[in-house]
Amino acid sequence: MQNLPIIQTTYDFIRWYIPILDNLPRKHKFSIGDRMISGLYEFLEGLIEARNHPEKLAKLELLNVKLDVLRHQTRLLFDFKQFDERRYEYIGQRINEIGKELGGWIRQQRQKGNNQYT
């Protein structure tokens, strides 16, 4: 089965981001780092589930919230000085790219839902 672009983008982002989170100092790795790693895996799983689910919109809207949580967790790590500004900007760009793809998918599902009743 062909992956949707958002699934591939997320997969590539996880492959890049997890090693960084794994190398956080102990005080962050076993608290926010582990939560973020779990959240990233759950996000990818959620995208795959949504792709195959008849009621995509509700799943996608929940994933949008998870992405926002990841965005804030990343900002916290930056505020804790765990990334330099260049890396933080790169992470933000990747999260925003995923967010745009997710937003487009949500809009498409909303339009599809509205068209069912017309």
Give me the pLDDT at residue 117, please: 45
CA–CA separation, 64 vs 5, rounded Å?
Answer: 16
At residue 101, the pLDDT reads 98
Question: What pTM, to 2 d.p., does this model score?
Answer: 0.92
Q: Residue 113: its pLDDT value, please?
A: 79
What whole-number distance in Å separates Cα of residue 41 and Cα of residue 10?
A: 10
Domains and CATH numbers, the chain: 5-115 (1.20.1440.60)
Query: CB–CB of 25/52 below 8 Å?
Result: no
24 φψ region: left (φ > 0), alpha (ψ -120 to 50), beta (else): beta
Cα(58)–Cα(109) distance, integer angstroms: 10
Per-residue pLDDT of the chain (118 residues; tens, 9 = 90+): 568 999 999 999 999 999 999 999 999 999 999 999 999 999 999 999 999 999 999 999 999 999 999 999 999 999 999 999 999 999 999 999 999 999 999 999 999 877 654 3
